[in-house]
Structure 1
């Protein structure tokens, strides 16, 4: 490496002025001090240039050297400042603060160079490889579509050929009918012409005997031959719509688009939740005595259930829009809403999950040897159901697609994920497809990934003010944050997507929160000890 050169001449630099940020050799040091005689300098060996932080000047004492750091104002100050504007402020040694910050900078720089840059370069290299192979990778798909199109052309040609054959057959029958009609007409004409010839011959002879013998033969023409009349058929084509043909031609099942994170974004994970010290509530009177469960259709309307057979649909101003009774007269174990806005509810007593559509209730799913509790609809329209065995010793989560169980989640490395004991569990799917279950008896929230592998458990113990964490209703929002009702501590806990505690809501409009449903920044909270449902809004 080349030696460090003096900023004044070309000799090797041995000294450094911290005040002026200039490096120079021994011969130039005196010249520098002489030229800048009105300024306070800090001359140190070049190797010690970072031993003390460089500050241009104190904010209030121009000639004083800054040696302290005001923790309240976040600026460098001199000793005299402690007697003035920064009196009674907490201060630290400026060198120590800068040394700590330099370590942070070095650590961040090391991470950027050794981890982040390598990962990004590798990611770009992989993307470039995919880009170069993209045309080739798509060729089988395009060929498949072309081959299917050829089959469709063959089918169309066959259909056209069949129609033409049918028309040719009809045309031959039509031709045969016309020929028959011609033959009958010609025979009729021949008889008529013969009679006319005979009559002309009688008239020409003028013989009385023949005239007296004449008898009319017109009665032979009273009955006209039955001619078969055929009409050319009309072809009425079915209406052809491009969109219909596009749909009937086939379905292009696109691959899932997954988010790729090169580095976990801590700032996004810790996105603030703004609710306000005294949030504004909209209160709905449900007329249910207690145990209000909620499922919002939108930010402006919600379904509410309690210990009653009737389920009620309200808008956010408390106006009743609709009410429906359960099939069995039992109260629901849980409720949720489909993407189409229809209500689903589980019935613990008859082991069923039911659909409410247009005011009518139909049984969607009946379980054998299991009881359903918490339910939710996944992002792809499948049904996620918490259930317990009839003896209440086992619990699991199942994924149901078109009335068929396609996934069961019960164990993690032979350990049971969920407790039994007949306690209700609630469930929600997060935006990253994690399945979040509140297990009241185990007193924690269990979060597994889409494949059913355990990601983490949240027990909330650090934030319950000494009370036992009692997780009940659960939901997630657009930022993938998890909201869970802590009924024992009368609050709502909020965590990020990885289960790190963000905040908790103690003023949620209910003295004993129970039900919970979130939509577009609106939080609906059902009460466990009154007939109210509260709604408040937050922003991120």
Structure 2
């Protein structure tokens, strides 16, 4: 019995359906018992080749010819890319065609497959097996590694609790001391009033006695001494102290510490990682966007705004000064660029550090704890606009010193990871008509560039492949050509871009379809734009020096 065939699975003869198969006709692909071989060979219309059933694999089962049904195709027409029989080889249809022996082709293919099988088994499969083991080991260690993170947070929390307990105790002791001093003042005040009250009572008693007396001389000589209590009763007005917290509870997380963003580096299959950032609750566009507040910055030529929330809104203009406001309009911080020249663009890292580009020094700079340092130094290229991705990379648009080329570069820290410059046909993705190229990463990891010089929003995939160009919606009422400046994206994957010359904001979906425009809220030359974590829109107006906070979703 053939290996792998069990008695209950015995193969039966295709003719009688009763006896166990013993022979095999290769051309007919028929299983036969010995008794039925003669009957099968009686069919003279068909060529037969009877072999032992267990040797059937040593013979090739050539395909039948589609035209000459009785013939087997043992040749292959290279020109027609099809098997052919001997009759076809000599026919006019295949005149002057090139033929190959199917058996030779089959032998070559089997030889190739044997090599591939060996390569896959010995080289590729072990790598995947090892990778599987490594990933399982890594997964098994996740609890321990993330446990260490939790322990570090707990330790920081315990230290904070101890320090807070010390601070709270000191404040309580101070409160008790102030309370005692307050009590002492009030007691002295009370005792002094009691003393005066006692004098008043004595005077009243003396007057009463004189009034009852008939002694003329005594009555006439009596003098009332009211000098000590002619004034209003003394009163020590001591105001209670107030507790003034030095920071908002909402800012404690910044002081306490934060997690660095998870870093993902893939090799091989990029689709292993989801194409989008974590999903957000579904929101809808408001029928009528609403202006929440306007912040006057004191600037003119306001061109940049970036924020993560309404507590810290960073803005820049054509001077060396970068300011930070809160939503109430209070100035919280002000820094100067390292070069003393203006910052071209601003962005905040995932750890809330400030980044800015300096075209004069060809650098991307980072401000940490009030200290400015160069993060990226370019040679022969000038950085323009930038943004920070969901995974913490930095995207920078730049042009060469001759202003003949423009490209977008991805950095991890100061290390260059990717350059995006040309489409599949080798044509430049970005124009050089205007060097301003604001950039933003969308939720699906598309990269969106507002190409002012080209009058288009250019969107490429994470790998840099062109997806589409948006060149304005004809239904948007406008008088001037579409020249997008600021660009940002929100939690719904929508793209917002500032149409400065037409005083409006275009809103697109992630596929580049126009959804609506924001043309109310008294917008005037909107330039830099951003959205915070709550999807509130902040618009830097170039000429008015105002930041406008707008709600456009619910």
TM-score by length of 1: 0.51
1:477 and 2:490 matched: yes
> What's the counterpart of residue 273 of structure 1?
285
CA distance in 2, matches of 1:490, 1:305: 20
For residue 538 of structure 1, what is the aligned residue in structure 2?
552
Pairing of 1:36-435 with structure 2 (within 5 A): 138-139=132-133, 141-142=135-136, 258-259=273-274, 272-274=284-286, 277=288, 279-413=290-424, 414-435=426-447
Shift of 1:509: 4.5
Identify the match of residue 542 of structure 2 among 520, 528, 539. 528
CA 1:136 to 1:335, structure 2 compared with 1: closer, same or farther past 3 Å?
Answer: closer
1:143, distance to aligned residue in structure 2 (A): 5.9
Runs of 4+ in 1 over 2 A off after TM superposition: 134-147, 251-261, 268-272, 463-467
Question: 1:397 touches 1:409 (CA, 8 Å); kept in 2?
Answer: yes
**Structure 1 contact 270–496 (Cα < 8 Å) conserved:** no
CA drift of 1:287 comes to 0.9
Q: Deviations over 1:338-391 (max 9, x none)?
A: 111111010112111111122221111111111111100111111100000101
Displacement after TM superposition at 1:141 (Å): 3.3
| In 1, Cα distance between equivalents of 2:281 and 2:461 | 17
SS at match of 1:504: strand
* C-alpha distance in structure 2 between counterparts of 1:457 and 1:496, whole Å: 13
Query: Counterpart of 2:509?
Result: 496
Unaligned ranges ≥5, structure 1:
1-133, 148-250, 262-267
1:512 deviation in Å? Answer: 1.4
2: CA distance, partners of 1:420 / 1:294:
24
Q: Does 1:445 align with 2:445?
A: no
CA positional deviation for 1:507: 1.8
Q: What secondary structure does 1:460 align onto?
A: coil
Q: Secondary structure at the match of 2:530?
A: strand
SS at match of 1:488: helix
How far 1:292 moved relative to its partner?
A: 3.1
Aligned to 1:123: none
**Conserved in 1, the CA contact under 8 Å of 2:291 and 2:521?**
no
**How big is each residue's C-alpha offset from its partner over 1:459-503, in whole Å with a ceiling of 9 and x where there is no partner?**
014144253111000000001100000112110000001101111
Instruction: Give, in whole Å, the separation in 1 of the partners of 2:374 and 2:467.
Output: 34
Instruction: Return closer, same or farther for 1:446/1:140 CA change in 2, 3 Å cut-off.
Output: same
Which string of whole-angstrom CA distances, capped at 9 and with x for unpartnered residues, describes residues 68-107 of structure 1?
xxxxxxxxxxxxxxxxxxxxxxxxxxxxxxxxxxxxxxxx
Between the aligned partners of 2:490 and 2:347, the Cα distance in structure 1 is: 15
How far apart are residue 301 of structure 1 and its match?
A: 2.8
Change (3 A) 1:257 1:321: farther
CA displacement at 1:136 relative to structure 2: 11
Distance 1:358 1:452, change over 3 A: same
1:292 touches 1:533 (CA, 8 Å); kept in 2? Answer: no
For residues 394 and 289 of structure 2, the distance between their equivalents in structure 1, rounded to whole angstroms, comes to 37
Q: Are the aligned partners of 1:430 and 1:436 in contact in 2 as well (CA < 8 Å)?
A: yes
CA distance in 1, matches of 2:263, 2:323: 40
Mark the CA change 1:252 to 1:449 in structure 2 (over 3 Å): closer, same or farther: closer
Alignment match, 1:459: 471
- Secondary structure of 2:136 counterpart: helix
TM-score (normalizing by structure 2): 0.50
Instruction: Note if contact 1:282-1:535 (Cα within 8 Å) is conserved in structure 2.
Output: yes
Q: Distance between the aligned counterparts of 1:270 and 1:500, measured in 2?
A: 18
- The alpha carbon displacement at 1:281 in A equals 2.6
| Backbone CA RMSD of aligned residues | 3.0
Contact 1:364–1:403 (Cα < 8 Å) also in 2: yes
Post-superposition offset of 1:278: 6.2
Offset at residue 334 of structure 1 (A): 0.7
Query: Aligned residues, how many?
Result: 297
Q: Distance in 2 between matches of 1:295 and 1:143?
A: 41
CA distance in 1, matches of 2:327, 2:513: 31
